[in-house]
Copies of this chain bind each other. A is one copy, B any other.
Amino acid sequence: MTAQDDGIPILQVGEGALIQPPDLEAFRAFNRAKTKALVDKLTDERDAIDRFVADGDYVGFELYGTVRCPMGLTRALIRAGRRRLRIAGQGVHEADLLLAAGMVTDIDFTYIGQEVYGVSDCVRRALESGAVGEVVEWSNAALSWRFKAAAMGVPFLPTRTLLGTDTLRRSAAKVIACPFTGIPLALLPALVLDVGFIHVHRADRFGNCQIDGISGFAVEMARASRRLLISAEEIVETDAIRRQPDRTLIPYYLVDAVVHHPFGSWPGEMGGRYERDTEHYRMFLEWQRTAEGAERYLADWVHAVPDHAALLEKVGPEHLAALRLDRPEGAAR
């Protein structure tokens, strides 16, 4: 027995709020009740949002920037008018739209911006005005590891990031001295989402999903979500899943609804399928500079159409066809 066996010192406690405190026992009970049967979950976007997303939910989106984002589902969520959402601010373009639509009360924040194009004016307006309540700071790794903790079914993960910074001070992490090595570690609390939204290359109607190329944080977020909504470029037969079970990143029992959304990441890109619609995205960037412009964007490109299929019609088949890639990158099929 060493001295530290008497107890582990807590060296620092982040002052940020724990917006979604981890309750692993409740998560286990919820997961137990989810059906393990192979039932058809293919539905339309409106039904998926209606049945599985409530006002006040804590929600998260994968992937990042304008890459493989569940934009079709995000627009459906905005049309459905869900309110007082709390979000993991790592999705970027979806978060932009939700903030523009005034749907967000609290954010676990790591990055909401336009990457090479700089700051997001939607974020600036929402946060500089105080319209958003809790804003708790994290890093990309920290938020991903928080999902991973939930995915592992443990209430925290120890890490060596955040330490010594204001990011940690404004987070809800705790710093302890390691009981095995004595080094300080930042403990990141598990983040269990009420609803996760993920866009994938292909899924079967039961919810088994494959993703080509990088997997971002899909594996972790899918497992950290109580309810999980999937949009997919392509719906495949289960036989295609069973032929290559080592490609199933998200097994069906995690999934509540599957929505068929070709060009579901538009105006973002989808690896091996289509490029980002930079022309449209630049227009969005231009419009979002003012609150009026952002509202006009939502009116024209979200509310003006009833659903994703109608939006694709509005964008135009020729325009979309020009974004298509001839040759797949990353994962050859």
Contacts and interface: CB of A to CB of B under 8 A. Distances in A.
A22 B245 contact: no
A245 B331 contact: yes
A154 B245 contact: no
A190 B174 CA distance: 20
A179 interface: yes
A158 B156 contact: yes
Contacts of A213: 245-246
Interface in A1-57: 1, 4-10, 13, 18, 21-25
Contact of A10 (B7, B24, B214, B332): B7
Interface in A201-232: 211-215
Nearest to A12: B5
28 contacts: A1-B13, A4-B10, A5-B10, A5-B174, A6-B10, A7-B7, A18-B180, A21-B180, A23-B181, A152-B157, A152-B159, A154-B157, A154-B159, A155-B158, A155-B178, A155-B181, A156-B178, A158-B158, A174-B180, A180-B189, A211-B246, A212-B246, A214-B246, A243-B332, A244-B331, A245-B330, A246-B330, A246-B331
Contacts of A245: 213, 330-331
A153 interface: yes
A211 B247 CA distance: 11
A187 interface: yes
A178 B157 CA distance: 11
A160 interface: yes
A16 B5 CA distance: 15
A174 B181 contact: no
A246 B187 contact: no
Contacts of A174: 5, 179-180
Contacts of A160: 24, 153-154
Interface residues of A, number: 48
A5 B185 CA distance: 15
A187 B10 CA distance: 16
Interface in A170-191: 174, 176, 178-181, 183, 185, 187, 189-190
Nearest to A18: B180
Given A174-B180, A246-B331, 8 more contacts: A8-B8, A23-B181, A25-B183, A154-B158, A155-B180, A243-B332, A244-B330, A246-B330
Contacts of A22: 180-181
A158 B154 CA distance: 7
Nearest to A333: B244
Nearest to A213: B246
A212 B215 CA distance: 18
A13 B22 CA distance: 25
Contacts of A156: 158, 178-180
B7 A9 contact: yes
A38 to B, nearest CB: 19
Contacts of A1: 13
A155 B10 contact: no
For the complex of A and B, 7 pairs with smallest distance between CB atoms: A8-B8, A7-B7, A155-B181, A180-B189, A154-B158, A243-B332, A155-B178
